[in-house]
Structure 1
Amino acid sequence: MSSLGWIDFDEAERQRAQRIMALLQERESRDELGLGAIRDSIADHLFPGTSTIQTRLRYMLFIPWLFRTLESNELSEAQFREQARRLEVDFIKSLQNGGETKGVFGIDAGARLQRLPSSVYWAGLGAWGIRVFPGSIDSLFVALRGRGRLRGGSDDDETLVNSHALAIWSPALPQMPKDLLERAVFRLTTEEAQFLIDRLVATQPASLLTTLARNGDDADCDYIWTHPHLSAFPAPARRLVQHGEIFSQVMHGAALLYNLALSELRERDDWKDDYRELLKFWVDELDLGAVRAWSLDDFWSVVEHPAHAIRQPAKNFVTQWRDFVLGGTMEAITSPSARRLVEDRERRLKTSQSRYANHAVRDRWSGASGTERLTFRWAQARSHLTLQLLF
């Protein structure tokens, strides 16, 4: 949904409008209707190595630097794991000492931090060729246990400790700042930014993220399909973005209908009114001409990605919902068959935890789930481009 406006008649209307806007900004990550593989396939084609919970781009350098401080030590697997965790937790203080408050991973949890930054950025480090070791973090600890190694860089003073040295990081990795463990900031240096762009060019040359980073494109827009330079995108990326726009627009209606149905089951008149209003906006903004022209055969062809298996039931659900939309948007909202399609999909995915079937689970429902339009991680890519790669 590109815009939502209202006339501020009174306080009640103003509060209602604020509730609706809050619903649209809900960011629950659960994939209620089983569209995650399609969403992530598109995102990984356009913006590889990104994640919805990445906070700051310089973590792509922080993680290798922190790990390299341990790699030449003679440690057991358990010791590597323990010391790596301590380093990542202690690093929170280093960022605070540097004056950073926003985007610091674990700033509230501190020592209780469960998901470490390394686990969040590990896949991206591999996708961008910053990490050349092919395995998981745990497998790296296993490979390093009880042995010294050549620290992964090109320093003249680094020496081979044993003949089984591992290649873990790109040899071109910039040098770690000497005071990193005492004071750290998120701002990239020119050398670091160029290193990241070079890694993208080398490992992800066809991605839209690489094109935008190389061109220094820092457009401020909510959706990638509203980018002012869309027409200049490489043809494959432009084709995928156009497919993504229609997919996001069409399937948003199914997500809103799901939330409306749960609101009805919870007998919450305020939620029901809000979702009916949102569905009206969805109907008004839906480009039926584009939906009619949408080739699902071409869509399934271009979104295919080796890291994600899009199963036939998901394809069937998208196809059937699209058919309901083409039959009339109000029909898609009110038709018992359309509502049954959404319900059956959720029940098959969630089984005993279905909010339709399980009263206890439904009673814990917050009133919003998956209400935001799919954006395919454009917000994270835009943050990397505008705040940190470009300066």
Structure 2
Amino acid sequence: MSSLGWIDFDEAERQRAQRIMALFQERETRDELGLGAIRDSIADHLFPGTSTIQTRLRYMLFIPWLYRALEKREIPEAQLRAEARDTEIRLADALKAGGESNGVIGRDAGPRLQRLPSSVYWAGLGAWGIRAFPGSLDSLFVALRGRGRSRGASGSEDALASAPAPAVWNPALPRMPDDLLDQANFRLTADEAQFLIDRLVASQPTALLTMLAREGIDADCDHIWMHPHLSAFPAAARRLVQHGEIFSHVMHGAALLYNLALSELRQRDDWIEAYRERLAAWRDDLDPGAVRAWSLDEFWSVVEHPAHAVRPAAKRFVTEWRELVLGGVGQVISAPGARQLVEQRERRLKTSQSRFGNHAVRDRWTGASGADRLSFRWAQAKSHLRDLAHAE
């Protein structure tokens, strides 16, 4: 049994560990071949503050509204935590009462909800400059507890001055609707949308997400490289999108081959046929000339991100897979070298939990792992941009 822990003295490391643990709970982030750091680097450059389990943009306001009200309560920490959880669950009921059905976190789970909206959006609130408090949600509760103790120690002005309340939210945060916990919806007001755009401009001025938000661009396309305004993107963003497209396309073949190999080991003819068809389509769509012209040196340079360390083994895997593709994309499906490369990569990453080596783990496999093309959180960014564009 494996575990993940950290020493609780470095806030940056604590938040990094929390991001990693959050990924384990996100179905769409399955990373069977160790490409997650590259994928997330591209996504964080283009769409900072997003995650694959975010639903609707107004949660970026719901969370600070609810917590700003709770911060005024001088109650024990345990009670504050309990009330915060109860309030977030009540928000789901209020959204349902307001006629919302899609995107409501906790819509079906109710009091059994495990992943609260605050944990889903906490990192994004910081990345967008909506949250001024630098620590984790846990550390906020501790800070509020400390504030309450200092106030209780003495009623004097000196005592209050010696322990100033921590700045938690941006002072320009719009006013919370009076009936938020009775009836709520996801529709942004014009003032709320402008506040969110202003936060993006101030905190993430070079991000593609900021440019699209500022210009009010809402486009319904499956991938960011299919965007109708691609030619108008800033040069750096456009180049990164182009790199992301070829990386997503090339490495999709490795993911499909991984799923095909497992399907063959499971002796599932229906799965085998489906993955062979998908690999044939991948082969037909791939442009060998574009793959040959793809500069990996430039790619590693533009995707570099301080929050994600791309390990040398991951770079070697991408390089070796690209070489196999250039050697003959039509042969990759059956080439022993390609299958060996994919299998060895998964075995090194998963060790005793490798589906190639562990029969019990393989027998629990349900037929698809990371089988879709990498999209770098465009679906979530697209949803947020739509919410901004349709503010009332």
Normalization by structure 1: what TM-score? Answer: 0.89
Q: Is the 8 A contact 1:216 1:390 kept in 2?
A: no
- Alignment of 1:83 with 2:86, yes or no, is no
Q: Following superposition of structure 1 onto structure 2, how do residues 170-319 of structure 1 map, counting pairs within 5 Å? A: 170-319=170-319
- What is the CA–CA distance in structure 2 between the aligned matches of 1:389 and 1:144, rounded to whole Å? 36
Q: For residue 377 of structure 1, what is the aligned residue in structure 2?
A: 377
- What is the CA–CA distance in structure 1 between the aligned matches of 2:103 and 2:258, rounded to whole Å? 32
- What is the CA–CA distance in structure 1 between the aligned matches of 2:76 and 2:301, rounded to whole Å? 47
Is the alpha carbon distance of 1:272 and 1:344 closer, same or farther for their aligned partners in structure 2, counting shifts above 3 Å? Answer: same
- What is the CA–CA distance in structure 2 between the aligned matches of 1:74 and 1:368, rounded to whole Å? 49
- What is the CA–CA distance in structure 2 between the aligned matches of 1:265 and 1:287, rounded to whole Å? 30
Q: For residue 101 of structure 1, what is the aligned residue in structure 2?
A: 101
- What is the CA–CA distance in structure 1 between the aligned matches of 2:57 and 2:252, rounded to whole Å? 29
Is the alpha carbon distance of 1:220 and 1:60 closer, same or farther for their aligned partners in structure 2, counting shifts above 3 Å? Answer: same
Q: For residue 321 of structure 1, what is the aligned residue in structure 2?
A: 321
- What is the CA–CA distance in structure 1 between the aligned matches of 2:80 and 2:138, rounded to whole Å? 10
- What is the CA–CA distance in structure 2 between the aligned matches of 1:130 and 1:164, rounded to whole Å? 20
Deviation, 1:389, is: 3.9
AA at the equivalent of 2:307? A
Q: For residue 58 of structure 1, what is the aligned residue in structure 2?
A: 58
Deviation, 1:146, is: 4.9
Percent sequence identity is: 74
Deviation, 1:388, is: 3.9
- What is the CA–CA distance in structure 1 between the aligned matches of 2:389 and 2:107, rounded to whole Å? 23
Deviation, 1:148, is: 4.8
Q: Structure 1, residues 330-364: CA drift from partner, whole Å, max 9, x if none?
A: 23221111101100111111111111011111111
Deviation, 1:80, is: 1.9
- What is the CA–CA distance in structure 2 between the aligned matches of 1:353 and 1:104, rounded to whole Å? 34
Q: Is the 8 A contact 2:28 2:52 kept in 1?
A: no
Secondary structure of the residue aligned to 1:333 is coil
Q: For residue 3 of structure 2, what is the aligned residue in structure 1?
A: none
Is the alpha carbon distance of 1:387 and 1:165 closer, same or farther for their aligned partners in structure 2, counting shifts above 3 Å? Answer: closer
- Alignment of 1:69 with 2:66, yes or no, is no
Q: Is the 8 A contact 2:29 2:370 kept in 1?
A: yes
AA at the equivalent of 1:179? D
Deviating 4+ runs (over 6 angstroms): none
Deviation, 1:250, is: 0.1
- What is the CA–CA distance in structure 2 between the aligned matches of 1:315 and 1:331, rounded to whole Å? 22
Q: Is the 8 A contact 1:72 1:148 kept in 2?
A: no
Q: Is the 8 A contact 1:56 1:103 kept in 2?
A: yes
Q: Following superposition of structure 1 onto structure 2, how do residues 3-18 of structure 1 map, counting pairs within 5 Å? A: none
- What is the CA–CA distance in structure 1 between the aligned matches of 2:95 and 2:257, rounded to whole Å? 43
- What is the CA–CA distance in structure 1 between the aligned matches of 2:280 and 2:96, rounded to whole Å? 46
Q: Is the 8 A contact 1:92 1:106 kept in 2?
A: yes
Deviation, 1:28, is: 4.2
- CA RMSD, 1 decimal: 1.5
- What is the CA–CA distance in structure 1 between the aligned matches of 2:211 and 2:388, rounded to whole Å? 16
Q: Is the 8 A contact 1:37 1:309 kept in 2?
A: yes
Aligned residues: 356
- What is the CA–CA distance in structure 2 between the aligned matches of 1:43 and 1:230, rounded to whole Å? 16
Secondary structure of the residue aligned to 1:181 is coil
Q: For residue 46 of structure 1, what is the aligned residue in structure 2?
A: 46
- What is the CA–CA distance in structure 1 between the aligned matches of 2:315 and 2:116, rounded to whole Å? 34
- What is the CA–CA distance in structure 1 between the aligned matches of 2:231 and 2:148, rounded to whole Å? 52
- What is the CA–CA distance in structure 1 between the aligned matches of 2:122 and 2:65, rounded to whole Å? 13
- What is the CA–CA distance in structure 1 between the aligned matches of 2:29 and 2:110, rounded to whole Å? 23
